[in-house]
Amino acid sequence: MFSKAIVRKPGKSMVKGLTTAHLGPPDYDLALEQHAAYVHLLQSCGLDVLVLEADERFPDSTFVEDTALLTPNGAIITNPGAPSRRGEIDAMIPVVRRFYDQVDQIVDPGSVDAGDILQVDSHYYIGLSSRTNESGAKQMIDILNRYGLSGSTVKLTDVLHLKTAVAYLQYNHLVVCGEIVKRPDWNHLEKIEIPVQESYAANCIWVNDRVIIASGHPITRQKISAAGYSVIEAEMSEFQKLDGGLSCLSLRF
């Protein structure tokens, strides 16, 4: 179960955020509204949410998930793979230190975006992507091992981040889409396959026995409900324009 979350409001500079989506620039006011609704949903799932002010210096800084991996035994500050995102961690370190005594950090030449890290109980799968490299993944696994946790890597070809295409829902269910579906890594889990036309919904989040999904994905909703979860929806259109999903907007711990 989670008790807390950290989020950061989007800034006006978000219109300059990194994207491959070809959906046009986000509408800042609508993004603020959607962000506030997202915070409200996390609160309704019982989380105490720390809302950080926007950091206009970094257009993608609302996607806080990428800056840290928060485990039960310590926090690991990442080294984001995109040069325009590197500086986001400086503001995150003191925030994470408020909650964790044990704080480690990924350093050059390693790079990691924590959107590439999928936790399944005490094991952490680390996607090797355009943002997360071998050195970063190795550093991450060494730190996890020190914490009494384990990690392994998964080579990615199509998606931005590992969690773009997969989500663990607790109780052995894994939501999968696209290149992840046929991978043998998770054959011990029960897979919920999302059709490609709803691929954006694969990035959903389990929060204390509810599953939050991006609105407008009826097949995903039906399949996750059928697996026994209570599903709630969030409007995400403005963050989708920046390749950002539900998990990216918060650090939950």
Binding site residues, ligand CIR, CB under 6 A: 17-19, 60, 63, 65-66, 82, 85, 115, 160-161, 163-164, 242-245, 247-248
Minimum distance from residue 57 beta carbon to ligand CIR (Å): 15
Q: Which is nearer to ligand CIR, 104 or 113 (CB)?
A: 113
**What secondary structure letter does DSSP report for 46?**
T
Catalytic residue positions, numbered = 161, 248
Buried b (16+ CB within 10 A) or exposed e, 135-148: bbbebbbebbeebe
User: Least Å distance between CB 59 and ligand CIR?
Assistant: 8
Is the N-terminal amide bond of 59 cis, ω within 30° of 0? Answer: no
Phi then psi for residue 7, to 5 deg, are -135, 165
Q: How far is the CB of 169 from ligand CIR (least distance, A)?
A: 17
**What pairing do the DSSP bridges indicate for beta strands 190-193 and 205-207?**
unpaired
Q: Give the residue with the Cβ less far from ligand CIR, 158 or 190.
A: 158
Q: Please name the amino acid found at residue 220.
A: T
Closest residue by beta carbon to ligand CIR: 115
Nearer to ligand CIR, 111 or 153 (CB): 111
| Burial of 14 from C-beta contacts in 10 A (0-12 / 13-18 / 19+) | buried
Phi, psi of 26 (to 5 degrees): -70, 155
Give least dist CB 218 to ligand CIR, A. 23
CA max distance for the chain: 44
Of 223 and 241, nearer to ligand CIR (C-beta) is 241
User: Cβ of residue 229: shortest distance to ligand CIR, in angstroms?
Assistant: 21
3-state helix, strand, coil split of the chain in percent (to 5) is 35, 25, 40
Coil, helix or strand for 111? coil
Cβ distance to ligand CIR smaller for residue 74 or 244: 244
